[in-house]
Structure 1
Amino acid sequence: MYFDKERFKEEFIQKLQSMQGMSLEEASVNDQYLALGATIRDYISRKWIQTKRQYQEKNDKQIYYFSMEFLLGKLLDMNLINMGIREECRAALQELGIDLSLLIEAEPDAGLGNGGLGRLAACLLDSMAAMHLPGHGCGIRYKYGLFEQKIVDHHQVELPDNWLKDGYVWEYRRPEKSVEVRFWGRVTQIVQPDKWLFIHEDYEPVLAVPYDIPMVGYHNNTVNTLRLWSAEPAQLDFDLSSFNRGDYIRAVEYRHSVERISKILYPDDTHYEGRLLRLKQQYFFVSAGLQSILSDYKRKNRLWQGLPDKISVHINDTHPALAIPELMRLLMDEEGLGWDEAWTITTSTVSYTNHTTLPEALERWPVDMVKSLLPRIYMIICEIHERLCYTIWEQTKNWDLLREISIIADGEIHMARLAVTGSYSVNGVAQLHTDILRKNIFAGFHSWQPYKFNNKTNGITHRRWLIKSNPLLAKLITDTIDGSWIKYPWDLIQLLRYTDDEEVQQRFCEIKRRNKEALAKFIKNKYQIAVSTDSIFDVHVKRIHAYKRQILNVLHIMHLYNQLKENPDWDIVPRTFIFGGKAAPGYYIAKQTIKLINVLAEIINHDNSIQGKLKVVFLENYSVSLAELVVPAADVSEQISTASKEASGTGNMKFMMNGAVTIGTMDGANIDIKNAVGDSDIVIFGLTAQQVFDYYAFGGYNAWDIYHNDSRIKRVLDELINGFFPNEKEEFRPLYNDLLPNNDEYFVLKDFSGYSEAQRIVDNKFRNKQGWCSMALANIAHSGIFSSDRMASEYSVGIWKIKPHIITG
């Protein structure tokens, strides 16, 4: 876009005056950030209005992506990059004595997600806008996000993430587009000559208020929309003359009940009230989103039969699966359609991505809870279930199949089965994951409707994870192969010609060192831990969960430490092990793992006898912004989940794109990375998915056998409970029990030997600097296929059937 420097400076100063009521000289960095954000938002709004107008005029098909999470990160820098004015803006601000980098740093990370699910959704929105695809997001505007993580006395402590305390400069509140969402109450059925009417009475109303955030396309005029819903009390009429204390208490309770819906992401579901709140959240945003979509559709179209030709609704994992019965409710109860017609429309409109093979993550809700909270939705789910069972029995006469696909079973509603039943497309997010869905998780559905199932491997946006977070590397790539890769990321493959080029290798090594220096400085300033940039930066950052096996990494570090204590002169390449990630507040074992990492770090980092050859760092409150500092600095990417458990992963792709070498199992997208780079440029170890399934199915694995036959494992496990950790003799007993008495569900001990050997291979490879640089550059070259641009293209063509719409300026 054309950038008028003088006009920009005038507009910026005017924003300071009008918004903050102060001069440039008085303004703090945060004041300046808010004024700059508002200035840029005005620029974006012009294109946003233009985009919406042309979408409406063209009336092409649009996609609405429903997700519980959208892990956006900071938007100021990305918006400047996508608009093509970052350097011009930097220069203009510099003339005013302002450092743009300080303003970028002042922006809070939006508290709208936690991990890979939310980051994938954010990358997809970025790519759809960049590729001129009419695609939008729908989610919840969480007041406090997940939580802010603090490490206090080695423990994770959860604090409110008050990211909205100064407002959010990128959002627009749209109260005129608010809708009502209904909970509780009862449904009355009225029989009429030609149909049944269902009247929802005595319900609790909740007002869903939308906040819209523009999603800016890269160097184009497209600006799509992320719509987030906030729960507010509906207008209540009180007779003030009889507004006694009891009425007041009930009113306050109602307000608090409503506001809790959009207060935090993933309330603790280890108790009934937490589960109920999660269910409320899920229905709240799908009902609000669908009401908004259908209202917009009605203004432009007359026939409901044409809805699938104009609208695609995509549900990101099982959280939004209630979109299926809710769409049925809206079409039948509000628009007067019959069941068959509404079902045809619904199952031609909704598509579903599954993100997990973990049974506990394939959501199930108690029948009584759904029946009470959502009485009409429960009736519709029952009807879907009964019709499905009738159809299956009529076609197959197979009781086993019937049990396998039943939506309602054992007093619970299986949301993943509902999602598969009501969708026209079901996809996994890596080839192995999709194969597991077909053969294991949804084998019954696949045998009955194989045409629904397909694979769409995850991706990441190279605009954030390379251009923004690693600009020096981005410049090296452009200098080496030209800049076509920015628009066509698969062109990164051209870098293969230069993996052994000494000049390219030298520049890459210098960039990696500078990135490591930046991270080392951050670690020193925040944690007072000095780490050497000559050491291997071995990074394991992701949600803390048993299947992701941070504990395997920790046990191996303990083993290395034991060896160094016995032989301080042992010749190993110095290692800095960097961890980061949050544990769910109610997940005790994960929180114990965090404590173990921090207690171990305390011991190792203060032991001078090992000559600084090992350092351990836990980065608290891991976030997108922190990832942008960590990922470019990594030498080794830890992707060591139990094979078959990680659906795909996207962290592995980010690290790969920034020149880190993966050490990992044959799981998720690790397999796709291995197939891309070849055996020599990745380090693979451990059980395969089939071996894991065989152990689960046929038994034969005994953790005690490994404990008794591997002295390394026996020693480190004993150290969890024998006083090796001062003042913590029994603290880590639950971790010990998880691995031995509970028989090591995720095969940590089984894979320990292979992991140790893989780490030895990494040590040897890192000693050969030229060979290591060649590996790193080869990983970057092959990373283009993991761009979310490729992913968005595959979804748009293979599932949604939407076309690019070029927005004219």
Structure 2
Amino acid sequence: MSSKKTIHPRSGMNKDDLREDIRQHLRYTLAKDEYSSTNWDNYRSVVLSVMDRLHDRWIETQQGYYKNESKRVYYLSMEYLIGRLLDNMLVNLGVQDEAAEAMEEAGLDYDKVRNAEWDAGLGNGGLGRLAACFLDSMATLGIPAIGYGIRYDFGIFYQQIENGYQVEKPDLWLRYGNPWDVVRSKTQYNVPFYGHSRAYNDGNGDLKFKWENTHDVLAVAYDTPIPGFKNDVVNNLRLWKASSSSSIDLKSFNQGQYIDAVRDTQLNENISRVLYPNDKMFRGQELRLKQEFFLVMASMKDILRRFRKTNDDWRKLPEKVAIQCNDTHPNLAIPELMRVLVDEEGLSWDQAWDITVKTMAYTNHTLLPEALEKWPVSLLRNLLPRHLQIIYEINRRFLQHVQEKIGDDRGKISRLSIVGEGEDPVVHMASLGIVGSHKTNGVAALHSDLLKKTLFRDFYEIFPERFTNKTNGITPRRWLRQCNRELSALITDKIGEEWVTHLDQLKKLESYTDDKAFMKKFAAIKQSNKKKMAEYIHDKRGIKINTSSMFDIQIKRIHEYKRQLMFTLYAITQYNRIKANPDGDFVPRTLLVAGKAAPGYTMAKLFIKLMNDVGEKINNDPDVGDKLKFLFLENYSVTLAEKMIPSANLSEQISTAGFEASGTGNMKFALNGALTIGTLDGANVEIKEEVGDENIFIFGNTVDDVDRLRHEGYNPWTYYEKNEELKQAVDQIRDGFFNEDKELYQPIIDSLLHKGDYFLVLADYEEYVKTQEKVDDLFRNQDEWNRKALLNTARVGKFSSDRTIRDYAEEIWNVKVAD
């Protein structure tokens, strides 16, 4: 699979070849010169030059997979939060420095070229970012893999803050096209909806079913190359765009009914129009179900077409194909594969079921029951009639198996049923995923344990061998090598470059904690990153930041369980302390928050307004000066994360214990030398194990404590009344101190005091504030702080997505990893 064996005229990796290619593309592909080109033209000419170098490797990689008859991994995900690609492509090709020099000699500014790229925000948060990391790791490990998703016209909304409120604007990431993708116009599949399932006799006395009178939508493939790190492997991300299979109704058009003629075309194309914002609350919209099935059927047709090229024995499918469903969204792949095998290929149910279970695997990403997909039977009956029949038959046979195993325990059988009972029955997609696949995995040790003990306890008792843990990881290429070039250069200078693909090599850095020259450079790099962040804030907001202050950062989706509200209460407490004693000895802090709230999530949007109001008060108070700043940065994205994470001193990971499945921001911060303040939740538990108790700040109620508090009868008023600082902060929010409209924040007060404080903000507040005081004490001793920061970087090698993917490959997919 190595392109080094073949000499290609457009694959020169040196500065001179790159420079000439950039100039050639500008003139001969884009018909521009140095006088007429825009930043976008310059960016495109660079991308086209990079694509030239990727194409040879891309083609040869795919040829190698065919020649070797490799088992393929197919990763199905509704979300890919890939961010900007230029730096990532150059890093993985190993030509970032050469490309930068080539651009300079061609008269281009690297930063302007890079900044012309729009973030590809085809995901809401962790789920989509994880998928992007996994694609990078699969290519780096040489795993024959394809990622499948949807090419949304509009990604996650563009967030603007107006008068402190979140305002959602369309994310026009495709306004000028996407130079990284290649449209495969001839790779298109019909995806049917509606119609009915007709039963018939096949002539052998067997009852068969045919899905008929459907309304079809066309799925067209768009491919993006995914290069591994310096290994000449280029895998594929294939995104489907919805198109009308019949263009326009000419009869209606000729009769002057233009609107009717194009209406169906518009409705079909709506399927890939916009990414659904995920607010961790399942809402059963028909368009969302259409999107999920659209992804599943187009991908399954593509997967099976590729399998049939070299195989005619369906029993070999699990030997050649591994399908991983990223959350429940693609779990319709289970009944779809059954439909193909039984209805189209004529296999018996038992043969088809054996093949399906061995081929499919499912990753769970949530412990929130309200976030689990439950599709109404009525909707499935209308939209996917044959699939509903298959789901019912899967369920019937499964419950029969359960009854034989456990006897007539009606309560347990009811809980295990894939199809819920009642007046408006629903299909539980997580249950379908567990029953229809050979492995179900959680994404952190705690999360996987809780799945077995709580959410899926009954299923675990039936299928203990199917449950496994695969702790999430992040790609070191983007989240250290690319986003923190100074630190990665320092590390490489000391221990070599092997850490980029073997992150556990960072352990070697531990021996440098007593090396004063090294530690001085390490501290200077953090300071340099803070300076860049401060410049960004000054440019965007006009606010001057004290770069010697502690940069204390919380970046993630805005949600009640992630407790941005507790971080805000801490900001208010610090403000009140400074006001009460302006000459006191305070460790200066810059508190930074970024994240998006789902458009329909009223409480999360109110948190954003509150944070902006609190920031307005703090940042403009002359008594506070540069001792404290509290800022909400708008339009959080991968690109903004790449600025914020390297600048952080302290990482806020403060979710209510038992709610965060894993988190990956916690890993990125630690890798870049930030200390964590957090609860024992998600992957924080494993980060603590890796970095050591003395190098992390853990506080708050544990999962067991939360459970006990709930059972004993938690009373938030007790905490409110006994802590004066907490009471003052809550009262200020209630009484109009931050906004003269006293009714505005009443829903927040109600949630804390009158509706039970479900996420235990008040219960954890006091210990959180005391732990923040310990953080202050350590920060006063910069040498000791920096030593612990380096130990965080050195000890989080476990959290590479390369390790995660190796685990999937060996324990779920049964595929070989390149040495």
Fold shared, TM-score > 0.5 on shorter chain: yes
Amino acid at match of 2:756: N
- Give the 3 Å change call, closer, same or farther, for CA 359–241 of structure 1 in structure 2: closer
Report the secondary structure of 1:537's partner residue: strand
Cα displacement string for residues 567-607 of structure 1 (whole angstroms, at most 9, x for unaligned residues) = 11221101100000000000000000011111111111000
Question: For structure 1, which segment, 710-719 or 662-671, has the greater mean C-alpha deviation from structure 2 after superposition?
Answer: 710-719
Counterpart check, 1:785 vs 2:798: yes
Kept in 1: contact 2:193–2:215 (CA 8 A): yes
Aligned to 2:810: 797
How far apart in 2 are the matches of 1:245 and 1:185? 29
Counterpart check, 1:406 vs 2:417: yes
Report the secondary structure of 2:358's partner residue: coil
Report the secondary structure of 2:272's partner residue: coil
1:659, CA displacement in angstroms? 0.2
Query: 1:7 is matched with which residue: 17, 21, 24?
Result: 17
Aligned to 1:315: 325
How far apart in 2 are the matches of 1:355 and 1:145? 21
1:481, CA displacement in angstroms? 2.3
Query: 1:577 is matched with which residue: 576, 583, 591?
Result: 591
Query: 2:765 is matched with which residue: 752, 757, 782?
Result: 752
Report the secondary structure of 1:312's partner residue: strand
Amino acid at match of 1:605: N
How far apart in 1 are the matches of 2:180 and 2:112? 18
- Give the 3 Å change call, closer, same or farther, for CA 270–455 of structure 1 in structure 2: closer
Cα displacement string for residues 410-448 of structure 1 (whole angstroms, at most 9, x for unaligned residues) = 311111111111110111111100100111111111111
Report 1:184-583 matches (<5 A).
184-194=194-204, 195-235=206-246, 238=249, 240=251, 243-244=254-255, 248-266=258-276, 275-397=285-407, 398-410=409-421, 411-583=425-597
Contiguous gaps of at least 5 residues in structure 2: 5-11
Amino acid at match of 2:645: V
1:403, CA displacement in angstroms? 1.9
1:255, CA displacement in angstroms? 2.0
1:622, CA displacement in angstroms? 0.5
How far apart in 1 are the matches of 2:94 and 2:697? 38
Amino acid at match of 1:665: T
Counterpart check, 1:615 vs 2:616: no
How far apart in 2 are the matches of 1:290 and 1:107? 32
Kept in 2: contact 1:151–1:157 (CA 8 A): yes
How far apart in 2 are the matches of 1:71 and 1:239? 39
Question: For structure 1, which segment, 711-720 or 750-759, has the greater mean C-alpha deviation from structure 2 after superposition?
Answer: 711-720
1:795, CA displacement in angstroms? 0.7
Aligned to 1:683: 697
How far apart in 2 are the matches of 1:599 and 1:320? 40
How far apart in 2 are the matches of 1:506 and 1:643? 37
How far apart in 2 are the matches of 1:629 and 1:651? 13
Aligned to 2:781: 768
- Give the 3 Å change call, closer, same or farther, for CA 221–730 of structure 1 in structure 2: same
Kept in 1: contact 2:250–2:261 (CA 8 A): no
Report the secondary structure of 1:582's partner residue: coil
How far apart in 1 are the matches of 2:112 and 2:250? 53
- Give the 3 Å change call, closer, same or farther, for CA 392–121 of structure 1 in structure 2: same
How far apart in 2 are the matches of 1:460 and 1:719? 40
Kept in 2: contact 1:142–1:263 (CA 8 A): yes
Counterpart check, 1:165 vs 2:167: no
- Give the 3 Å change call, closer, same or farther, for CA 691–184 of structure 1 in structure 2: same
Query: 1:703 is matched with which residue: 698, 701, 716?
Result: 716
Cα displacement string for residues 616-651 of structure 1 (whole angstroms, at most 9, x for unaligned residues) = 111111111111110000000000000011111100
1:4, CA displacement in angstroms? 4.1
Cα displacement string for residues 379-413 of structure 1 (whole angstroms, at most 9, x for unaligned residues) = 11111111111110121112232122111113111
Cα displacement string for residues 500-527 of structure 1 (whole angstroms, at most 9, x for unaligned residues) = 3211211111000000000000000001
TM-score, normalization: structure 2?
0.96
Aligned to 2:679: 665
How far apart in 1 are the matches of 2:279 and 2:798? 37
1:271, CA displacement in angstroms? 12
Question: For structure 1, which segment, 251-260 or 513-522, has the greater mean C-alpha deviation from structure 2 after superposition?
Answer: 251-260
Amino acid at match of 1:252: V
Instruction: Give the alignment's Cα RMSD to 1 decimal.
Output: 1.7
How far apart in 1 are the matches of 2:725 and 2:622? 23
Counterpart check, 1:147 vs 2:161: no
How far apart in 2 are the matches of 1:334 and 1:519? 58
Kept in 2: contact 1:640–1:665 (CA 8 A): yes
How far apart in 2 are the matches of 1:186 and 1:328? 17
Query: 2:661 is matched with which residue: 647, 671, 683?
Result: 647
Query: 1:99 is matched with which residue: 109, 112, 115?
Result: 109
- Number of residue-to-residue matches in the alignment: 804
Kept in 2: contact 1:111–1:142 (CA 8 A): no
Kept in 1: contact 2:564–2:607 (CA 8 A): yes
How far apart in 1 are the matches of 2:27 and 2:208? 57
Counterpart check, 1:630 vs 2:644: yes
TM-score, normalization: structure 1?
0.97
How far apart in 1 are the matches of 2:253 and 2:443? 58
Kept in 2: contact 1:144–1:263 (CA 8 A): yes
How far apart in 2 are the matches of 1:494 and 1:137? 34
Report the secondary structure of 1:754's partner residue: helix
Amino acid at match of 2:646: P
Kept in 1: contact 2:596–2:636 (CA 8 A): yes
Report 1:704-723 matches (<5 A).
704-723=717-736
Amino acid at match of 1:125: L
How far apart in 1 are the matches of 2:549 and 2:15? 44
Aligned to 1:68: 78
Contiguous gaps of at least 5 residues in structure 1: none
How far apart in 2 are the matches of 1:7 and 1:470? 27
Kept in 1: contact 2:253–2:261 (CA 8 A): no
